[in-house]
Chain A
Amino acid sequence: MAKDWPLWEIFIRGQYGLSHRHVGSLHAPDAEMAVLNARDVYTRRNEGMSIWVVKSADITATAPDRKGPMFDPSNDKTYRHPTFFDIPDEVGSM
């Protein structure tokens, strides 16, 4: 049974001023090869100017089945949206 190369998550910055965005994942033996493979797979047509690679195993994620306890608490806190202040029409949009 062959051993899989580790999985890497790939983030690409499209242009200056934008943040890196997750674009997908790929297998590679090490970080350097992951960058080269990401270059070939994800920036064939000028999509990027900077690449980050992160070992998938190094990412800590929220568990899908803990979605409720994690995110529900923000549901009833509508006061976090600044919609309770009356700004006169004359002032315009704020």
Chain B
Amino acid sequence: MSRADLIDDLLAGRAKYSSIFNYPTLNWADIGAVGWLVDGAAIVNQVALQRTSYGPYARAMVRICKEESFHARQGYDIMMKMSFGTEAQKAMAQDALNRLWWPALMMFGPPEAESVHSAQSMAWKIKIMSNDEGRQKFVDQTIPQIEYLGLDVPDKEAKLNKKTGHYEYSDPDWSEFFDVLKGNGPCNVDRMAARNKAHDDGAWFREGLLAHAEKQQIAAE
């Protein structure tokens, strides 16, 4: 299967993509919260995936982790500026955190028991960390970061279990998760339309580059 086929499948809605990203960003605080939480969640998965048995993915992950780490730090920097800024800024930061906390937890996929491909992927070592392990790791590293900002943890039930050293936390709304995954998220349609437009608008340029390369080739022969 060629790359063009894969992109066609994606643009036509036949292929799955990380549609759990499809939540709206309303203001500047959201830019901080997305970078910090969503990319922070992505890193937890991606660090583990550097050891995936699928070589091309493992190799690419090394560079991807460096990029994602950039986003997470930039996001947290924005959150710090806002949390330590005026009351209005702090309220915006809290609001962004409240809305994006749950989607960030969903990033790790459904609980193990409901995950369709997990067992097979773990057996083949394509996947090396379960959804729940990743989520726990994310919660454990993020709650102290929230506390540093002086913001409230959106999950009122979240608390540190002194025995295990891990935070106990509430589940996000999994029915919402499966709905977003099916393409019914708040931004799925918009984002797919934007991808299609960019792809269509750039077609003449991609074809032009190839036509130019072929012409040079003929001239050289």
CB-CB nearest in chain B for A1: B4
Complex CA gap A44/B212 in Å reads: 27
Is A76 on the interface with B (CB-CB < 8 A)? no
Say which residue of B5, B8, B60 sits within 8 Å of A24 (CB atoms).
B60
Is B2 on the interface with A (CB-CB < 8 A)? yes
Interface size, B (range)? 20 to 34
Give the interface segment out of A27-35, A56-64, A67-75, A82-90.
A27-35
CB-CB nearest in chain B for A24: B59
Contact B210 A29 (CB under 8 A): yes
Interface residue count for A (Cβ, 8 Å)?
A: 15
7 additional A-B pairs beyond A24-B59, A30-B213, beta carbons within 8 Å, are A1-B8, A2-B7, A29-B206, A30-B209, A41-B63, A44-B63, A45-B66
Complex CA gap A41/B67 in Å reads: 11
Contact B212 A30 (CB under 8 A): yes
Q: Using a CB–CB distance below 8 Å, which chain B residues touch chain A?
A: 2-5, 7-8, 56, 59-60, 63, 66, 203, 206-207, 209-210, 212-213, 216-217
Closest 10 CB pairs of A and B: A30-B213, A29-B209, A2-B4, A29-B213, A29-B210, A4-B2, A4-B4, A4-B3, A24-B59, A5-B210
Complex CA gap A73/B66 in Å reads: 43
Could you list 14 A-B pairs, sorted by A, with CB under 8 Å?
A1-B4, A2-B8, A2-B203, A2-B206, A3-B4, A4-B3, A5-B210, A24-B56, A24-B59, A27-B3, A29-B206, A29-B209, A30-B213, A42-B63
Nearest-neighbour CB distance to chain A for B153, whole angstroms, equals 34
Main SS of the interface on chain B? helix
Main SS of the interface on chain A? loop
CB-CB nearest in chain B for A31: B213
Nearest-neighbour CB distance to chain B for A11, whole angstroms, equals 14
Complex CA gap A3/B210 in Å reads: 9
B207: chain A residues within 8 A (beta carbon) = 3
B5: chain A residues within 8 A (beta carbon) = 1
Complex CA gap A24/B60 in Å reads: 8
Nearest-neighbour CB distance to chain A for B11, whole angstroms, equals 10
Complex CA gap A24/B181 in Å reads: 31
